[in-house]
Amino acid sequence: MIASALSGLARSETSRPSAHQLLDALEVFTARHAKRAHQVRVRVADLCIRLHMPSAVLADLYARRLGGAITNTGTDHLHFHLGEPSWAGSPDAAAFAYYQSLGPDFERLAGEAGLIGVVGRRDASNNPTEPCTLFNPRTGVGVQWVTALAHLPPWDAGSPFRLLIHWATAQRGMRMMHAGTLVSGRRAMLLVGQGGSGKSGTTLAGIASGLQTVGDDYVVVTADARPRVHRVHQLLKQDPAGIKRVLGPRELEEPSALNWQGKVEIDPELHFKGCMAESADVAALVLPRIAHADQTTFEPIRPQDLFAHAAASMWQQLPGAQKSGFVFATALTRRVPTWRMNLSSDPFEIGSAVRRFLDNGGP
Amino acid sequence: MVVAAADIGLLEVSTPDCVANDFDGEIVALNLSSGVYWSLRDLAAALWRDVTSGHNPLAIADRLAQINSELADESRLIIANLVNAGLLRPSSTSPVALEASETVARAEAGEIAFSVESYEDMKDLILADPVHDTEEHLGWPVVRNDNGVRA
């Protein structure tokens, strides 16, 4: 069955596969893959996700980076598959090569099938920059199809299933954002802004000072009257200079290779045990600024001005659900106090200032 | 101060209080001070694109009047409402439109609908715009469910 569902897809542009065929291919693949894959369950933003992975090693790695495997019984809200179609029994991987060649047409085809899907453009090596990713919002089943696991983009393991989590949480009225976070007690500061503004450095400075974090890359924020922020990935990314600035002469216990951005990826729990929080109330939206000041200071900033500086990180970077993302981000800036933080050069002074801010409810 | 349509000249987006974006032809605009969201579709979206790219709204209304006087009246009313809602303001520069008016072209082609809606509760709007669960031809925020469509 899978052969017939998939073989009909490796066709020329003139015989474009139908939406129905794509839906069939998704259902057949996931049914067959679920029988062979290594399964592990994780929890993100109060959603139980069953991961169906092609190897035990990948299952363990992705689970650890999504906060660790959970063992409790309960309903699986979502099923995410990562795999090669041929591994699941498809005789014709070219069918997926065809999907990968569709580009924006793949998004349209997925939409016609009631799915959301993207496939990245080709890189210099002719590999897609984003795996062929599909999500069925009605069933909560999503897939990342790759013709070979070696073709996974280098950032995939650093932020596993980020697109599927983004779409699944958007469907539930939540929003995945690109932000750093620091937590004291139950109150969180959401650090937003452009790349290089100091989000990750401030997060690392904070946890080195004893604060907690919900993440420094992607987090999920709810649309409640009092918004909450949830952990997505348990991994911090920091450039080597930033690591050295915070840790000083202390060496990483397990030095890591640099990732595709030239950053070190570290499991913060290995170095700052207890620093990861699952969720917290969003007490402030903060736009950090590397000021090299003697002391870290906070000043109120109008929501309009924060939005103008942080729109990209708050809603523009992830494909799909763009309109709801825009509305969410604007509403969040109106609902939560907005501040600019002028950073000093001393990571521990920054950590102390953030703790005072969170514990006092302001500067 | 409430602005009358006849007093309006060249306009621009009232940044930073107003943020707006074009989503596949639909304009979603928000006055961050008031918290009211506006959704503009069809000719209303075209009108927004025209006036924010340098077209004089009064000149557009004059052209529309040659097609259908009701279209002209409606365009004047919408522009006055958008100005009074703090989304558009008199332009501080004198932009020159480089393209012909989209509103006029579409009206000449037979379009007559100016679709304008405003909302105060963002949560409903977010939930009404999940991934590919929106009935596009009926417009946001109409939600499709298993039994059909509800508003």
Query: What are the pLDDT digits (tens) for A68-84?
Result: 999 877 889 999 999 88
Residue from A283, A269, A288, A271 nearest A341 by CA = A288
Spatial separation of the C-alpha atoms in residues A149 and A165, rounded to whole Å: 20
Which residues of B lie inside 8 Å of A (Cβ-Cβ)?
15-17, 19, 21, 23, 26, 28, 30, 32-33, 35, 37, 122-123, 125-127, 129-133, 140
Is the confidence at residue A14, as pLDDT, over 60? no
Place of tokens 């924020």: A221
Q: Please give, rounded to a whole number of angstroms, the shortest distance from the CA of A349 to a CA of chain B.
A: 33
Handedness of CA B10, B98, B17, B80 (dihedral sign): positive
The answer to whether the CB atoms of B125 and A324 lie below 8 A apart is yes
* Structure letter (DSSP) for residue A313: I
* Predicted pLDDT of residue A89: 63
Most confident option among A208-217, B88-97, B127-136: A208-217
Tell me how far apart the alpha carbons of residues A197 and A291 are, in angstroms, rounded to a whole number: 10
How far apart CA B55 and CA A63 sit, in angstroms, is 55
- What percentage of chain B carries pLDDT values higher than 70? 75
CA–CA separation, A240 and B134 (whole Å): 45
Tokens representing A258 are 């640099």
Mean pLDDT along residues B87-115: 91
Q: How far is B146 from chain A (nearest CA, A)?
A: 10
Looking at A211-215, A319-323, A337-341, B8-12, which range is the least confident one?
A: A319-323
Element (H, E) at B3: none
DSSP-based three-state secondary structure for A64: helix
Distances, alpha carbon A336 to alpha carbons A219, A223, A226, A303, in Å:
16, 11, 8, 9
At residue A311, the pLDDT reads 84
The pLDDT of residue B137 is 26
- What average pLDDT does this structure show over A337-356? 95
- Note the pLDDT tens digit of each residue in B7-23: 678 999 998 889 999 98
From the number of C-beta atoms within 10 Å of its C-beta (0-12, 13-18, 19+), residue A132 rates as buried
Determine the average pLDDT of the residues in A267-295.
94
Residue A66: what pLDDT?
Answer: 95
- Average pLDDT score, chain B: 79
User: Are the C-beta atoms of residues A45 and A169 closer than 8 Å to each other?
Assistant: yes
Q: Which residue has the tokens 């106090």?
A: A337
Q: Are A309 and A194 in contact (CB under 8 A)?
A: yes
**Residue A20 pLDDT grade (very low, low, confident, very high; cuts 50, 70, 90):** confident
At residue B106, does pLDDT exceed 60? Answer: yes
**pLDDT attached to residue A321:** 76
Q: Are A182 and A354 in contact (CB under 8 A)?
A: yes
Percent with pLDDT over 90 in chain B: 56
Partners of residue B37 in chain A, C-beta under 8 Å? 327, 330
For the stretch A97-131, pLDDT in tens is: 677 777 778 888 888 899 998 887 666 666 656 77
B24 three-state secondary structure: coil
Q: Check residue A345 and report its DSSP letter.
A: S
Q: Which residues of A touch B129 (CB under 8 A)?
A: 321, 323-324, 327
Q: Which residues contact A97 (CB under 8 A, 6 or more apart)?
A: A10, A147
Amino acid of residue A90? S
When mean pLDDT is compared across A340-344, B68-72, B93-97, the lowest value belongs to: B93-97
Distance CA A270, CA A211 (A): 15
Q: What is the pLDDT of residue B62?
A: 95
Q: Give bridge partners of residue B72 from the DSSP assignment.
A: none
Q: Who among A172, A321, A330 is closest to B19 (CB)?
A: A330
Q: Where are the alpha helices (DSSP H) in A117-198?
A: 162-171
pLDDT at A223: 78
pLDDT at B131: 44
HSE-up of residue B64 (Cα within 13 Å, Cβ side):
28
Res A7 pLDDT > 60: no
pLDDT band at A90 (very low <50, low <70, confident <90, very high): low
Of B19, B21, B131, the CB nearest to A135: B131
**Does the distance separating the beta carbons of B37 and A323 come in below 8 Å?**
no
- Angle among Cα A5, A121, A324 to the nearest 5 degrees reads 85
- In this prediction, residues A253-279 reach a mean pLDDT of 79
How far apart are alpha carbons A131 and A54 in whole angstroms?
A: 15
Q: Which of A118-132, A293-307, A324-338 has the highest mean pLDDT?
A: A293-307
DSSP state, A217? S
Query: A252: which DSSP letter?
Result: P
Q: Encoding tokens for residue B34?
A: 């008031």
For chain A, give the mean pLDDT: 85
- Cα A224-A170-A146 angle, rounded to 5 deg: 150
**Cα(A43)–Cα(A80) distance, integer angstroms:** 12
More confident residue, A19 or A279: A279
Mean pLDDT across A41-49: 95
What order do you get walking across the sheet with A78-83 strand by strand? A38-44, A47-53, A78-83, A141-145, A132-136, A116-118
Residue A273 in this model has a pLDDT that exceeds 60: yes
Shortest Cα distance from A78 to chain B (angstroms)?
Answer: 15
Q: Kindly state the average pLDDT of the residues A51-80.
A: 92
Q: What is the pTM of this model?
A: 0.82
In whole angstroms, what is the distance from residue A279 CA to residue A105 CA?
Answer: 38
Comparing A5 with A162, the larger pLDDT belongs to A162
Placement of tokens 């598959």 in the chain: A81
- Classify B18 as helix, strand or coil: strand
